[in-house]
Amino acid sequence: MSFRFDTRISYLYSFSLFDPSDTAPEEEKVRRVRQALTRAFPLCLPDDDPSVGEDPIFRDLNIVQGFLHGGGVPFPSRRFLIRDLGLTFEKVPMEETAVLFSLFPEFNAGQLIFSFKADGVDTDQLIYLRQIFGGLAPFRAKDGRAYSLNQWFRAVTDTLGVPVDDPDTAYLVEVKDVRPGLTADQLLEQESQRLYGMMTGDEGWQFVPKAMADERLSNYWGSRDFVRIVVFGNNGLLLNLNRTDLARDYLARQDQFGGWAYGGANDYFRVDSDLAGLCHGILHAQEMVLVIKTIAGRILNRQQFYQKHPAGGLGAAIQRTRLFRRELIVTLDRVENLGIMEIGELEQLMLNSQKITPLIDSIKYLLELLEGELDLLYQQSTNRLVNILTVAGLLISGLSFLFSFF
């Protein structure tokens, strides 16, 4: 059977920002990033610009955040919509809907989302659009420049003037409509191999055992009959079939209830955003998980740096070990609190898929090792001091003995 899909696609990069030794206040870091982006991209729209209410992406972001989080999220963010590129992909009809830079100054982390619209595409086209993530396929800007997505990522982040390290990636395809029409559960049950191929970029999906495809799609969440989010590793598939009869009936119910209780349905129920994953809190959950992964990965990568660049002298080694131990404790506090503050079924699903728990366990194990190393360094320092004092005592005794003859 031939299928056609209307989709929104997000290619997401998450990374560390700023040198660890940069102790500038958060406001200063935000100011620097804002200045760099608006200088490099004159059409860049910061989230505190007076005209953000007129922009459909920011309008939808504010509606969704206000409804799902009461105006707040687990950690503060600053967002910048880069409207200068206008990227298109020529091999498959696909056009940019948003290039969104998000800064999380409290955690020295950033995320860059390239979001696109691809409607009326078939299975093979969607598989190809997954495969090009990280490859050399060119995305053309409206000024004629054509770079791969990784090159566009660097073209944006290089303008910041600060280190951008430990990049991690995630992929999300949101299906808004499918022809012929099936419900979300029917798609998962009848077309699991096809969906698996679309999500992971496996062009051989027809030859994958259905039991294996079912297993890959078994990690899913959905709070409505027309919504399912499936995650596998750093891949996500959102079935947000908001153009079906089920979705229309649901909206009618919200109009009925909202009109009776609140004088009208909340605008959230009418959001049909071109930013992939915004509806139903998928994007915010994905952001939370990737921030946790970024700061956990950063601390483990710093340990590798320390191993390759040992500190000079015992005193310097003790000082650096103490500072790194303190950083480990702060990192554990941050990542575990982030997980607790907004944890739910969706976030837990993504945490498990991204294998965050083993990362946190690695930090705890590293902390144990580091505490043992610190004890050893202190013991060495004490032994050295005892040896110095012993030698000094012997010298003083010897000198006293010699002076007794004069």
pLDDT tens for each residue of the chain, 406 residues long: 789 999 999 999 999 888 766 778 889 999 999 999 999 999 999 999 999 989 999 999 989 888 876 655 667 789 999 999 999 999 999 999 999 999 988 888 899 999 999 999 999 999 999 999 989 999 999 999 999 999 999 999 999 988 887 788 999 999 999 998 888 999 999 999 999 999 999 999 999 999 999 999 988 888 788 889 999 988 999 999 988 888 888 889 989 998 888 888 888 888 899 999 888 878 888 887 787 777 777 766 665 555 555 655 555 555 555 555 566 566 566 666 655 444 466 767 776 666 667 666 766 656 565 555 555 545 655 555 444 545 455 445 544 544 555 5
**Residue 260, exposed/middle/buried by CB under 10 A (0-12, 13-18, 19+)?**
exposed
Asked whether residue 136 is assigned to any structural domain, the reply reads yes
Instruction: Specify whether the backbone of 2 is left (phi greater than 0), alpha (psi in -120 to 50) or beta.
Output: beta
73 and 41, same structural domain?
Answer: yes
Cα separation, 180 vs 308, in Å, equals: 57
Asked whether residue 402 is assigned to any structural domain, the reply reads no
12 and 36, same structural domain?
Answer: yes
Cα separation, 290 vs 297, in Å, equals: 10
Looking at 246, 279, 312, the residue that finishes a domain is 279
Asked whether residue 400 is assigned to any structural domain, the reply reads no
**In the structure encoding, which two tokens stand for residue 222, read together?**
């959905």
301 and 269, same structural domain?
Answer: no
Asked whether residue 404 is assigned to any structural domain, the reply reads no
Asked whether residue 363 is assigned to any structural domain, the reply reads yes
225 and 158, same structural domain?
Answer: yes
Asked whether residue 285 is assigned to any structural domain, the reply reads no
Residue 275: domain span = 4-279
303 and 260, same structural domain?
Answer: no
pTM passes above 0.75:
yes
Domain count, the chain: 2
168 and 256, same structural domain?
Answer: yes
140 and 216, same structural domain?
Answer: yes
151 and 100, same structural domain?
Answer: yes
Q: Give the per-residue SS3 of 33-53.
A: HHHHHHHHCCCCEECCCCCHH
309 and 271, same structural domain?
Answer: no
Residues 129-163: pLDDT tens digits?
A: 999 998 999 999 999 999 999 999 999 999 998 88
Q: Which residues of 78-90 are buried (b: 16+ CB within 10 A; e: fewer)?
A: bbbbbbebebbbe
Q: CB–CB of 12/286 below 8 Å? A: yes
Residues 6-15: pLDDT tens digits?
A: 999 999 999 9
299 and 250, same structural domain?
Answer: no
